[in-house]
Amino acid sequence: MELPLYPRESGQFVAERSLDVFVEEEGVQRLAEMLYSLRHSEALTASGWKKANPLAPPPTSDQAPNWVFVTDTMNFSFWPENEDQQCEVTYKGTTYRGYMTLCAAITRAMEEGVPITDPNYFSKMSIKELAHVLRSDNSTSMPMLQERHQVLTEGGRVLLEHGGSFCSFISQAGNDARKMMELIVDKLPSYRDEAMYEGKKIAIYKRAQILIADFWGIMEARGEGDIPNLDYLTMFADYRVPQALVYLGVLRYSDTLMQTLKNGELLTSGDRREVEIRGCSIWSVELIKACLCKLVEERDGQPCNINAAIIDFYLWPYAKQHHKEMAHIPIHHTRCIYY
């Protein structure tokens, strides 16, 4: 069986052959300068994990790693068929949409006494029980309930086979980010985010990488964040960050692709254009990281410790905060379990 190119190499392979998505050198330089100006802020550290995940249990909690596993295992496909019909979950007086509806629903279930972070429970829970946990405030349900049920119960069974918790499962990778990613995609089929492009099997591994990064965030908050090979992680290629990269002039879409997306055409998982959006996003952030590190080393005379995951941790909230300004840039839509 042919092994896929890993995400960084996949991004470069796609970017060098892309027909409809292009990495803009000036935009890369400009964003690197912007991030350089923020290099001492909490926005460019993993220590801001709790701030970025306000609905998660405290990082010191025994439940935090399993909470991350449950949410990241179901972290896909939140976009609504119609913008005015979105799944919503209200928790402690705040109404959430998108990915945050999942976080709110999981934390709400914990407060209601549902053992949703216990693999003994979620490996066997019924689809009806999961529907209750993920229930919306309105008539618009969370998309892909059946798929979420399938991947969550599958994930629970895998954890039970490997010590009964996410910590015991991931410990088999010896606290190494690269080995963690290999373990996750080997044991958990729903994390195997791969595609064929120009005759080559490539890997994006968005959810596998964000699971590692979230685990790192928890450990960093605990003062135990020394995980080797974190620089092996790339950005997490989804919907929002590519939109931000286009808005910031880092990526450019062809006129044909831009019109296709504005027309609302769905791209299937593995479609050439979908792969190009995600692959070029990965490679552009690798170039931004290299440019940023060069600035830090030349101007500050010290090594750079900002990796692609941290840049993603900055860009995703940036996209959410500036969604009105970038509303003219269409988000690509692909209904799948990978992101």
Active site residues: 238
Q: What's the CA gap between 115 and 96, in Å, rounded?
A: 22
* Element holding 262 (H helix, E strand): helix 255-262
Q: What's the CA gap between 57 and 264, in Å, rounded?
A: 37
Residue 90, classed as helix, strand or coil, is strand
Q: What's the CA gap between 296 and 45, in Å, rounded?
A: 15
User: Could you tell me how far CA 63 lies from the centroid of its own chain?
Assistant: 21
Residue keyed to tokens 């931000």:
244
**How many beta carbons lie within 10 A of that of residue 157, not counting itself?**
14
Residue keyed to tokens 């990796």:
307
For 220, the token pair is 């960093």
| Nearest alpha-carbon partner for 277 in 197, 337, 212, 199 | 197
Q: Which residues contact 150 (CB under 8 A, 6 or more apart)?
A: 190
3-state helix, strand, coil in the chain (%, to 5): 55, 5, 40
Are the beta carbons of 99 and 68 closer than 8 angstroms? no
Residue keyed to tokens 């062809």:
254
Q: Name the pairing type of β-strands 200-203 and 194-197.
A: antiparallel
DSSP letter assigned to residue 299: I
**How many beta carbons lie within 10 A of that of residue 29, not counting itself?**
17
User: Could you tell me how far CA 114 lies from the centroid of its own chain?
Assistant: 26
Burial bucket for residue 264 (CB in 10 Å: 0-12, 13-18, 19+): exposed
